[in-house]
């Protein structure tokens, strides 16, 4: 789960990492009020979970209060990279001498946290990584020991930081490590961390990504979830207890298991079709879950055929078949549905489907081929 | 021969009295897996499944009394870290964690701790291990694989079953099937598992089932090219997956330009590994 910049800055403030003075606003009048409090010169930043906000016009510097109102009007209620802006952060302007990149992230490669810093702050770190990889300093952190003081000095030296800033810099990294550990983050990033002309270090931007698996430990942070930032179908998926991602095609998919769900979408593509969604129904495909999932799939009007692929394994296929049948009795859809069941009691399960509108298939390949053909027929 | 589990495996179940734990313990017993103990703190002294399995309060006691040499973990995600630490401190050589949804920082701490210990960890978020006809440790259905000479290693669950089933339908048997799990931070990885299969006298060919996210398949390609004599057939799921979306598994996420199915397939193909376009194609490719 990604936090908005303003939410990340709330956390930073709690840990004593300096951020610019500023507040969140949802209306032009609020922007005006905050701008007056901050003395006129402000930066207005759209709070949307997308990279490249600046390039897309979501970050504007206003020299006067009337300019602040004007820009707020242009940003609030409009879309940045396809996302509706409901809130803007209004921050004081900070004079910048130097920009630094700083982050701590889960590193899959070493299976440990990694501290990254660069004297090339303020630009996309991916770009720095491509063009000037030698300018990114990486230090692996022992997850049991935490950061060592020498590592902090080492990073400061390697990004050519003047000695007069070492103490402040170390404090900020230590606090950033605490934010990372305490909130179970997978990424905490300050880009840029600036040195102001008053020789102060300030986190101008803030990005935190939380580990969804650990949210149970942080009920207060779960409240930060921005329901508006997610497609409604994915929220509905979470509600009914399935993993759902909307795609562009017209063949709805209902599969048990994430890997098999991907493989099912892949074979649809291989055979010239396109999946309308990824849906992992998980273990225990009971009637209620099957019905809820089918409703979710059918809420997309583009869907022209549905492919149900359940590898029973220990789950009994006759039970799954009964679930599918009862779901269909409720739903009354005319869209062709291909069903493939494999596992314990699969013969019995397929037998139960006989006489219904459902189209049984023996193999994954056969099921996908039928679904692709049916979708094309219905679309034509 | 086989890898990791066999008839000598004396299995302990952590979280044996929970729904999942109890259900799968029964399945494993039906498969004739040698289950010697269960652990649920607070339930020590009980017996479950009609008195077949004794329950202990701690892993240490269970090991001392029963000589368990492997553990499979079914405890809820929030207790996974502690359960693994407990098994490691009891010096169990093999720990298999089935539980899905373990916090990543917990797993990083576990992984770091393991680096100075002798325990081997499989998972978390994995279906476990199956040596057909000998031992089933985890949740892989026992009836979809027969003994044979093909090693199977996979990051997925039901997709693995799909492959086992396809092999069985074609009369092909399996030496050991290893589900290494779908999380970004995990125990045994592809390279380590391939190394075990390469050294196993009963394994003649290997099926590797990968998916989008990370670069374990690319590392496996390097290892296969440099160290392996046995043929490897691979399937990589997620060729149709969009970047930036977590496809169910925590580890299945294309970040930037890395971790795509295409890059993995290219890395494997470039060193001569044959790639199946869908799971049912695998038996035909092995037979070639």
Rounded to whole angstroms, the Cα distance separating B202 from B209 reads 20
Q: d(Cα B35, Cα A60) in Å, to the nearest integer?
A: 65
Chosen domain end from A65, A92, A119: A92
Collect all residues of chain A within an 8 Å Cβ-Cβ radius of residue B278.
263, 266-267, 270, 364-365, 368
CB B156 within 8 A of CB A260: yes
Within 10 Å of residue A323's Cβ, how many Cβ atoms?
A: 20
Q: Is A196 found in the same domain as A136?
A: yes
Whether residue A284 is predicted with pLDDT greater than 80 in this model: the reply is no
Residue A104 shares a structural domain with residue A84: no
Q: Is residue A268 part of a domain?
A: yes
CA quadruple A300, A305, A311, A312: dihedral sign: positive
Interface test with A, best of B81, B158, B183 (most A CBs within 10 A): B158
Q: How far apart, in whole angstroms, are the C-alpha atoms of residue B225 and residue A361?
A: 39
Shared domain for B145 and B118, answered yes or no, is no
User: CA–CA separation, B147 vs B174, rounded Å?
Assistant: 5
| ∠ CA A47-A53-A56, rounded to 5° | 125
Let me know if residue A322 belongs to a domain.
Answer: yes
Burial of B195 (0-12, 13-18, 19+ CB in 10 A): middle
The pLDDT value given to residue A239: 86
Kindly report the CATH number assigned to the domain that includes residue A255. 3.40.50.261
Counted domains in chain B: 2
Residue B277 in contact with partner chain A when CB distance is under 8 A: yes
Is residue B133 a part of any domain in this protein?
A: no
Residues B214 and B244 in one domain: yes
- Interface predicted TM-score (ipTM) of this complex, two decimals: 0.91
Whether omega for the bond prior to residue A192 falls within 30 degrees of 0, making it cis, is yes
Higher pLDDT among residues B213 and A318, named by residue: B213
Cα distance between residue A223 and residue A226, in whole Å: 8
B89, B21: one domain = yes
Q: Say if B135 falls within a structural domain.
A: no
The domain boundary, picked from A197, A222, A247, lies at A222
Residues A49-72 as b or e (16 or more Cβ within 10 Å = b): beeebeebebbbebeebebbbbbb
Which of B122, B157, B172 corresponds to the end of one domain? B122
- pLDDT, residue A229, reads 66
Q: pLDDT tens, A217-274?
A: 999 888 888 766 677 888 888 888 899 999 999 999 999 999 999 999 999 999 999 9
Q: Are B187 and B80 contained in the same domain?
A: no
Are B194 and B232 in contact by the 8 Å Cβ rule? The answer is yes
CATH number at residue B256: 3.40.50.261
What is the reported pLDDT for A177?
Answer: 98
Q: Which of B59, B92, B122 is where one domain is finished?
A: B122
User: Number of folded domains in chain A?
Assistant: 3
- Whether residue A69 is contained in a domain is answered as yes
**A75 lies in a domain?**
yes
Say whether both B158 and B278 belong to one domain.
yes
Using CB atoms within 10 A of its CB, is residue A354 exposed (0-12), middle (13-18) or buried (19+)? Answer: exposed
Please check whether residues B162 and B278 belong to one and the same domain. yes
Count CA within 13 A, CB hemisphere, residue A192.
Answer: 17
Residues B18 and B104 in one domain: yes
What is the DSSP secondary structure assignment for residue B193, as one 8-state letter? H
Average pLDDT over chain A, rounded to an integer:
91
CATH number of the domain residue B20 falls in: 3.40.50.720
Residue A7 inside a domain? The answer is: no
Q: Which domain holds residue B204?
A: 140-287
* Both structure tokens of A373: 């053909």
Same domain, A342 and A273: yes
Q: Is A15 a catalytic site residue?
A: no
Which residue blocks in chain A are alpha helix, DSSP H? Answer: 5-14, 28-37, 65-75, 125-131, 149-158, 166-182, 219-222, 232-240, 258-270, 287-298, 317-331, 346-353, 364-379
Are A241 and A50 within 8 A, CB to CB?
no
In terms of DSSP bridges, do strands B94-97 and B35-39 run parallel, antiparallel, or are they unpaired? unpaired
Same domain? For A241 and A310 the reply is: yes
Among the listed residues B184, B179, B177, B182, the one whose alpha carbon sits nearest the alpha carbon of residue B214: B184
Distance of residue A85 Cα from the nearest chain B Cα, in angstroms: 21
Burial category of A271 from C-beta neighbours within 10 Å (exposed 0-12, middle 13-18, buried 19 and up): middle
| B202 and B81 co-located in one domain | no
Residue B254 reports pLDDT greater than 80: no
Q: Across the strands, what pairs with B11?
A: B35, B70
pLDDT in tens, B89-135: 999 999 999 999 999 999 999 999 999 999 999 999 999 999 999 99
Determine whether A189 is an active site residue. Answer: yes
Residue B158 resides in a domain: yes
Nearest 5°: the CA angle A167, A171, A177 is 145
Q: Which residues form the domain of A77?
A: 21-92
Read off the pLDDT of residues A70-97 as tens digits, 9 standing for 90 and up: 999 999 999 988 888 999 999 999 999 9
Name the B residues in 236-265 with CB < 8 Å from any A CB. Answer: 237-242, 245, 247-252, 256, 261
Residues of A in contact with B247 (CB under 8 A): 243, 245, 258, 261-262, 278
**Contact state of A181 with B182 under an 8 Å Cβ cutoff:** no
């Amino acid at each position: 789960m990604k936090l908005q910049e303003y939410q990340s800055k709330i956390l930073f403030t709690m840990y004593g990492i300096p951020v610019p003075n500023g507040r969140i606003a949802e209306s032009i009048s609020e922007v005006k009020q905050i701008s007056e409090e901050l003395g006129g010169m402000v930066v207005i930043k759209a709070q949307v979970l997308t990279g490249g906000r600046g390039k897309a016009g979501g970050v504007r510097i206003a020299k006067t209060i009337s300019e602040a109102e004007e820009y707020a009007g242009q940003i609030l209620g409009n879309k940045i990279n396809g996302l509706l802006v409901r809130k803007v952060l209004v921050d004081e302007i900070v004079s910048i001498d130097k920009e630094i990149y700083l982050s701590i992230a889960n590193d899959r490669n070493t299976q440990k946290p990694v501290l990254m810093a660069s004297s090339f702050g303020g630009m996309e770190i991916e770009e720095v990584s491509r063009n000037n990889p030698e300018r990114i300093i990486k230090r692996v952190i022992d997850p049991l020991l935490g950061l060592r003081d020498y590592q902090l000095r080492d990073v400061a030296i390697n990004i050519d930081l003047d000695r007069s800033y070492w103490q402040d810099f170390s404090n900020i990294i230590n606090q950033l490590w605490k934010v990372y550990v305490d909130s179970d983050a997978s990424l905490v990033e300050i880009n840029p961390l600036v040195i102001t002309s008053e020789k102060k270090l300030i986190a101008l931007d803030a990005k935190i990504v939380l580990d969804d698996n650990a949210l149970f430990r942080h009920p207060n942070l779960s409240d930060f979830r921005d329901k508006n930032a997610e497609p409604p179908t994915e929220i509905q998926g979470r509600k009914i207890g399935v993993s759902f991602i909307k795609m562009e095609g017209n063949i709805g998919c209902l599969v048990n298991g994430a890997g098999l769900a991907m493989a099912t979408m892949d074979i649809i593509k291989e055979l010239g079709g396109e999946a309308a969604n990824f849906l992992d129904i998980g273990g225990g495909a009971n009637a209620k879950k099957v019905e809820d999932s089918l409703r979710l799939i059918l809420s997309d009007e583009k869907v022209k055929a549905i492919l149900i692929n359940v590898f029973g394994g220990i789950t009994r296929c006759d039970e799954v078949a009964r679930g599918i049948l009862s779901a269909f009795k409720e739903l009354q859809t005319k869209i062709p549905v291909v069903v493939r069941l494999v596992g314990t009691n699969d013969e019995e399960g397929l037998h139960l489907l006989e006489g219904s509108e459902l189209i049984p298939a023996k193999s994954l390949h056969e099921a996908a081929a039928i679904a692709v053909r049916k979708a094309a027929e219905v679309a034509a | 021969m086989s890898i990791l589990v066999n008839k000598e495996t004396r299995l302990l179940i952590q979280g044996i009295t929970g729904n999942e734990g109890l259900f799968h313990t029964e399945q494993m017993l039906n498969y004739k897996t040698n289950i010697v103990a269960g652990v649920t703190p607070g339930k020590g002294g009980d017996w479950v499944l009609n008195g077949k399995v004794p329950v202990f309060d701690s892993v240490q006691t269970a090991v001392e009394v029963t000589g368990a040499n492997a553990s499979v973990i079914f405890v809820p995600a929030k207790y996974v870290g502690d359960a693994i630490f407990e098994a490691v401190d009891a010096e169990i050589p093999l720990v298999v964690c089935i539980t899905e949804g373990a916090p990543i920082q917990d797993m990083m701490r576990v992984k770091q701790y393991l680096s100075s210990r002798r325990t081997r960890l499989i998972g978390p978020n994995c279906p476990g291990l199956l040596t057909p006809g000998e031992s089933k440790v985890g949740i892989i259905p026992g009836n979809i694989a027969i003994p044979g000479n093909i090693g199977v290693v996979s990051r997925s669950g039901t997709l693995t079953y799909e492959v086992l089933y396809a092999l069985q339908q074609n009369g092909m048997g399996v030496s050991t099937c290893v589900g290494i799990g779908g999380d970004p931070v995990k125990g045994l990885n592809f390279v380590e598992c391939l190394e075990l299969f390469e050294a196993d006298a009963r394994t003649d060919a290997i099926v590797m089932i990968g998916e989008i996210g990370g670069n374990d398949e690319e590392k496996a390609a390097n290892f296969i090219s440099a160290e392996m004599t046995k043929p490897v057939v691979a399937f990589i799921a997620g060729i149709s997956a969009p970047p930036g979306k977590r496809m169910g598994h925590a580890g299945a996420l294309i970040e930037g330009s890395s971790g795509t199915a295409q890059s993995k397939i290219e890395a494997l193909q470039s060193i001569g590994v044959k790639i199946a376009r869908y799971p049912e194609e695998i038996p035909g490719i092995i037979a070639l």
